[in-house]
Amino acid sequence: YQEEELKHLPHTKIWLQLAEPVKKIVEEKIAKKKITLEERSEYTEKMNVVEQLRHLMKYPYIRKRVREGKLNVMGWYYNIEEGEIYNYDRKRRRFIRVE
């Protein structure tokens, strides 16, 4: 996005800025390997799920309840075209298809 384009959309600008870490991750991936636009989109969507999980775990009350086993935070990726759902496994650091 261009700064000037969002001058009159401050909330949209803030929302897009939250995705900056994901953008950097994706750009690094692309620099190392050529991928299709479809692969880039899927990777971006998945990395956004991972980033949002990281954001949630920054809240002390969420982190505490997760450690205590009182709360399970899940990150799902929906592949609408295939009708599949993937859950992010933080221990294995990958998405696993939900059966």
What's residue 34's pLDDT? 79
Asked if the structure places residue 54 within a domain, the reply is yes
- Answer yes or no: is pLDDT of 2 > 80: no
- For residues 54 and 18, the model is more confident at 54
User: Quick one: pLDDT at residue 1?
Assistant: 61
15 or 89, which is more confident: 89
Residue pair 57/64 in contact by the 8 Å Cβ criterion: no
For residue 62, give its domain range. 3-71
Assigned domain for 49 exists = yes
Rg for the chain (alpha carbons), in Å?
Answer: 16
Average pLDDT, the chain: 90
Q: Measured between alpha carbons, how far is 25 from 65 in angstroms, rounded to an integer?
A: 29
44 within a domain of the structure (yes/no):
yes
Number of domains comprising the chain: 1
What is the 3-class SS of 11-67, one letter each residue?
HHHHHHHCCHHHHHHHHHHHHHCCCCHHHHHHHHHHHHHHHHHHHHCCCHHHHHHHH
What are the pLDDT digits (tens) for 29-66?
777 787 888 888 899 899 999 999 999 999 999 999 99
Is 59 inside a domain boundary?
Answer: yes
